[in-house]
Amino acid sequence: MKTIGLIGGMSWESTAEYYRLLNEFTRDRLGGLHSARCVLYSLDFAEIEQLQVQGRWADAGEILAAAAQSLEAAGADLVLICTNTMHKLADVVGAAVSIPLLHLADATADAVRASGLRRVGLLGTAFTMEQDFYRGRLEAGGLDVSIPDAEGRALVHQVIYEELCLGIVREESRTAYQKVIKDLIAAGAEGIILGCTEIELLIGSGDSPVPVFPTARLHAEAAVDAALSDAQNDTATTPASR
């Protein structure tokens, strides 16, 4: 099995889920006592969050690129950014290393297309929902992407940063998210992308009348597929091919 490099800590709540999922998928594929070969570089999310708020994306890019280089030096054969929002810097991170970067949006778009759906609603941080780096990648993958209205976006973003990233899961927030999901479905969404890895701590398939696409789970599964593949470049996106 190839070694999976994880840039995590953004937040550690969802990074812990990545670790669990990688090991579960590896066990399910290989059986017995098998677990995933992986290396984790866990960043301080307080530092990264301040750079997000201040719009200092270049500084954040330097931090993530250095983390990726450390993972490569530690023996990683491919790298994952364990957060949707920081895929704003995917090209910077990918260009800093010679190993493939497995893009979360690509893994998600593949799963949506495999389900036969095209029209999806996207939940995530305000950065992910409102900027083009993520939505544009999904749309380039053949999806029709809609987002909540301004009030819904503010609610989804607030719950992520003030609750889920702190490990707080509230039934009131689940109910509020369900309302946002219903509004997206009423506007034509056939499925819902949980486009923030922490949202999976709050929302599952039972919270939506249409399929949900949990991005951390999909990313982890794609990573195990790539790590167990003899043709890594068929499943992982290299900087040169992006």
Which entry of 125, 196, 197, 235 is annotated as an active-site residue? 196
Neighbouring C-beta atoms of residue 225, cutoff 10 Å: 17
Query: What are 119's two structure tokens?
Result: 């029209």
192 beta partners: 121, 212
38 counts as catalytic = no
Beta-strand (E) ranges in 69-161? 78-81, 119-123, 144-146
Rounded Cα distance, 6 and 79, in Å? 6
Active-site residue, 196 included: yes
Residues 6+ apart with CB under 8 A from 54: none
Contacts of 96 (CB under 8 A, 6+ apart): 65, 66, 68, 69
**Catalytic-labelled residue, pool 26, 83, 125, 128:** 83
- Count how many Cα atoms sit within 13 Å of the Cα of residue 195 in the half-sphere of its side chain: 37
Residue (of 105, 109, 19, 99) closest to 65 by Cα position? 99
| Residues assigned a catalytic role | 83, 196
